[in-house]
Amino acid sequence: MTNPILQDWTTPFQIAPFDAISDQDFAPALEQALSAHRAEIDAITANPDAPSFANTVEALEAAGTGLDKVLSVFFTVAGADSNPAREALQREFSPKLAAHFSEISANKDLFRRIATIWDAHETLDLSPEQQRVLMLTHRGFVRSGAALEGADEARMKEIKSRLATLGTSFTQNLLADERDWYLELSDDDLEDLPKFVIDAARAAGADKGLDGPVVTLSRSVIVPFLQFSPRRDLRETAYRAWAARGANGGDTDNREVAGEILALRSERAKLLGYEDFAHYKLETEMAHEPGAVRDLLMAVWGPAKARADADADVLTAMMQDDGVNGALEAWDWRYYAEKRRKAEHDLDEAALKPYLQLDRMIEASFDCAHRLFGLEFKPLDIPLYHPDCRAWEVTRNGAHLAVFIGDYFARGSKRSGAWCSAMRAQAKFRVVQAPVVINVCNFAKGDPALLSYDDARTLFHEFGHALHQMLSDVTYESVSGTSVARDFVELPSQLYEHWLEVPEVLSKFATHAETGEAMPKAMLDKVLAAANFDMGFQTVEYVASALVDLAFHEGAAPSDPMQKQAEVLADLGMPAAIGMRHATPQFAHVFAGDGYSSGYYSYMWSEVMDADAFEAFEEAGDPFDPERARALEENILSTGGSRDAEELYTAFRGRLPGVEALLKGRGLAAK
Ligand SMILES: [Zn+2]
């Protein structure tokens, strides 16, 4: 019998036949798909004809369709609806997949064919997109070390394997320190804490098998405690433990681990012919080189520090009014900031919620896409992997464009957070593939389901990613949709959040669940103003981390990362009462793996662009300006990674972005 995952899908729009697939189908389907992919690669390298774009690069693009099918179905259900069988499969699959892909990237015969084509690229009659795909394919192989020979090749292997081990140790050490420490709270210690903080402390205690409430070092427990506990002594104890994670000496100390990781990364970049790791890493990004990152971060640092310094004065005065003398410390900031927030922006979350109904917010996100890009959404009744999933057919002028799936509610089988993925990416080679895109969120169920304002932003954010996939209009799948530079990928999503803030959108769709009345203007104003509260602090803690990350990877690797961190912070004049968002021994973004190493800046890079890009609509005087919307689709939402990010942005905006709109958006611009 044919495996239902690998046979042709005859369902509407060739959506995976979830009702016919069982967990037992995944492992055999994966084995079959892996060997089919291997055979396709072998056929490419065994081809007696001279290497050509068609018989090598296009053949690679076309290979692995079975693997795509298995992985898209498997990762969808493993992330959004897991169970013990799927968890076991995931543990089994991940080393297999890692080995499979590293075997391909180390395939010398394949690399020689690609290198031959690349050497001749200027003389080949290729479209701009084909040139780009060729460049990216070649670059990917070179960056993974395919061009190295002999001792260099062997050393690269050693470095990669040691880095993988160190990354795992870093994560495990951090987890161990977070798990081991807790602070027991007596009844007196709970006085004046809001109920939700007490509940969280009790739950944390129960989790540890204790009778009473505790503070732990998990962000969701300690941050509210620091915000709300009037007990300065307890705040200090908890904060000091939090700041010491990964730096407590002994087996779980991450300081030496960080040093070794930085040294190996630097060696790896040099082996590959780069000046340093930051240059290696940023080559594939829109920023291109460390100088551009530093310029951006420093342009934001000055105004952020000025705001934080001014805020520190206000908070110090509040503390002194409380009868506490001396300097404002890192364990005081959140507590006095929370008091100030209450005084200045008294926003009642409970009163706000009935205005943000999930179904109305989905309608709002669709309506904006209709007004901007002419998209229409029609509910689809098809079997999916969970009864909570909903699907829509997306059309434009009557023509099929995509299928959009929304899986909105939290449940135990779903991992936390929110994400967007393409179960099938858009492409035209070798066959035309219309995208199937899914948004997964973790909203609380209810009748009707109500969102917080943050939830509504998340909904718009993920839908922005979905638009990037659904409006994609490229030939090759490897450059389709969200296959773009890391510091560019959040532009469509963060940009789309701005439409939620358009007053006419909220006044039309934010209607009260019981009375049907539109959200009052005063409430809307409060929501928007509260979004920028304490932005000096938030920007300073983030930018300091991003600058330390950059300094670690530029030039020679520091022999003592902690000393390097101290030097960078001293040069910046880091405000004494603000810690880094992630200090070195806890900086998992940078040390747990390669993902955000010399890339922590990218959140802000994207924010610079989204603020600047939305300003294009504001300048036109209409948030739905048709000409700007067309330019956005033509140059950013439809192009995927088929052109360089900098070129795309410039084509949309007529220039590169400046930081002014971001500073204004964060309320940090000089008044
Ligand atoms: Zn995102």
What would the pLDDT profile of 298-315 be if each residue is shown by its tens digit? 999 999 999 999 999 999
**How far, in Å, are 224, 345, 448, 453 from residue 350 at the CA level?**
18, 14, 15, 11
Count H helices and E strands in the chain, helices first: 27, 7
Going by C-alpha positions, the residue among 234, 341, 327, 340 that lies closest to residue 577 is 327
Q: What is the mean pLDDT of the chain?
A: 94
What would the pLDDT profile of 324-357 be if each residue is shown by its tens digit?
999 999 999 999 999 998 888 877 778 888 999 9
Q: How many whole angstroms separate alpha carbon 205 and alpha carbon 228?
A: 18
Q: What is the pLDDT of residue 351?
A: 85
Mean pLDDT of 348-367: 92
Please classify residue 451 by burial: count the beta carbons closer than 10 Å to its beta carbon, then call 0-12 exposed, 13-18 middle and 19+ buried: buried
SS3 of 271, please? helix
Q: What would the two tokens of residue 443 be?
A: 């909203």
CA of 482 to the centre of ligand 1 (A): 10
Distance of CA 516 to the CA centre of its chain: 35
CA of 327 to the centre of ligand 1 (A): 38
Residue 550 · residue 353 · CB < 8 Å: no
Residue 271 · residue 152 · CB < 8 Å: yes
The Cβ-side half-sphere exposure at 16, using a 13 Å CA radius, reads: 28
Q: What is the pLDDT of residue 200?
A: 87
CA of 417 to the centre of ligand 1 (A): 10
Number of neighbouring beta carbons within 10 Å of residue 213: 25
| Pairing mode of beta strands 376-380, 214-216 | unpaired
Going by C-alpha positions, the residue among 448, 447, 425 that lies closest to residue 436 is 425
The residues, any chain, with a CB within 8 Å of residue 117's CB and separated by 6 or more, are: 51, 52, 53, 56, 57, 124, 134, 138
Instruction: Tell me the Ramachandran region of residue 444: left when phi exceeds 0, alpha when psi lies from -120 to 50, beta otherwise.
Output: beta
Q: How many whole angstroms separate alpha carbon 611 and alpha carbon 494?
A: 9
Q: How many whole angstroms separate alpha carbon 361 and alpha carbon 352?
A: 14
CA of 272 to the centre of ligand 1 (A): 31
Which H helix or E strand runs over 399?
A: strand 399-409
* pLDDT: which is higher, 1 or 9: 9
CA of 422 to the centre of ligand 1 (A): 13
CA of 416 to the centre of ligand 1 (A): 14
Backbone dihedral angles phi then psi of residue 575, each to the nearest 5 degrees: -55, 135
- 408, pLDDT greater than 90: yes
Please classify residue 532 by burial: count the beta carbons closer than 10 Å to its beta carbon, then call 0-12 exposed, 13-18 middle and 19+ buried: middle
CA of 524 to the centre of ligand 1 (A): 24
CA of 464 to the centre of ligand 1 (A): 8
CA of 492 to the centre of ligand 1 (A): 9
Mean pLDDT of 23-40: 97
Contacts for 240-244: CB closer than 8 Å, 24+ residues apart: 240/331, 241/181, 241/183, 241/217, 242/217, 243/330, 243/579, 243/583, 244/177
CA of 642 to the centre of ligand 1 (A): 20
- 384, pLDDT greater than 70: yes
Q: Which of 178, 462, 477, 541 is catalytic?
A: 462
Q: Convert 464-503 to b/e letters by CB count within 10 Å (16 or more is b).
A: bbbbbbbbbbbbbbbbbbbbbbbbbbbbbbbbbbbbbbbe
Number of neighbouring beta carbons within 10 Å of residue 663: 22
Mean pLDDT of 484-499: 95
Going by C-alpha positions, the residue among 402, 419, 296 that lies closest to residue 637 is 402
In this predicted structure, which of 394-403, 577-586, 656-665 has the lowest mean pLDDT?
656-665
Q: ∠ at Cα 583 (578, 587), nearest 5°? A: 140
Q: What is the pLDDT of residue 116?
A: 98
The residues, any chain, with a CB within 8 Å of residue 506's CB and separated by 6 or more, are: 364, 500, 518, 519, 524
184 as an active site residue: the answer is: no
CA of 494 to the centre of ligand 1 (A): 7
Distance of CA 487 to the CA centre of its chain: 10
CA of 448 to the centre of ligand 1 (A): 26
What would the pLDDT profile of 162-190 be if each residue is shown by its tens digit?
998 999 899 999 989 988 899 999 999 99
> Following CA atoms 274, 276, 279, 281 in sequence, which dihedral angle do they give, to the nearest 10 degrees?
100
SS3 of 408, please? strand
CA of 288 to the centre of ligand 1 (A): 21
What would the pLDDT profile of 183-229 be if each residue is shown by its tens digit?
999 999 999 898 888 988 998 899 889 999 999 998 888 998 999 99
Peptide bond into 235 cis (omega under 30): no
> Following CA atoms 559, 561, 562, 566 in sequence, which dihedral angle do they give, to the nearest 10 degrees?
100
Residue 653 · residue 613 · CB < 8 Å: yes
CA of 221 to the centre of ligand 1 (A): 24
Q: What is the pLDDT of residue 287?
A: 94
Mean pLDDT of 455-460: 95
**How far, in Å, are 69, 114, 151, 276, 481 from residue 374 at the CA level?**
30, 41, 57, 46, 18
Number of neighbouring beta carbons within 10 Å of residue 177: 23
The residues, any chain, with a CB within 8 Å of residue 12's CB and separated by 6 or more, are: 380, 382
Q: How confident is the model at residue 107 (pLDDT cuts 50, 70, 90)?
A: very high
DSSP characters over 284-351: TSTT-SHHHHHHHHHHHHHHHHHHHHHHHHHHHHHHHHTT--S---HHHHHHHHHHHHHHH----HHH
CA of 463 to the centre of ligand 1 (A): 9
In this predicted structure, which of 166-180, 377-391, 564-578 has the lowest mean pLDDT?
166-180
Crossing angle of helices 491-500 and 453-470, rounded to 10°: 130
The residues, any chain, with a CB within 8 Å of residue 541's CB and separated by 6 or more, are: 578, 579, 580, 581
CA of 493 to the centre of ligand 1 (A): 6
- 111, pLDDT greater than 90: yes
SS3 of 384, please? coil
Q: What is the pLDDT of residue 1?
A: 62
Distance of CA 353 to the CA centre of its chain: 26
CA of 481 to the centre of ligand 1 (A): 13
| Pairing mode of beta strands 399-409, 436-443 | parallel
Q: Which residue has the tokens 């779903």?
A: 414
SS3 of 7, please? coil
CA of 420 to the centre of ligand 1 (A): 8
Q: How confident is the model at residue 31 (pLDDT cuts 50, 70, 90)?
A: very high
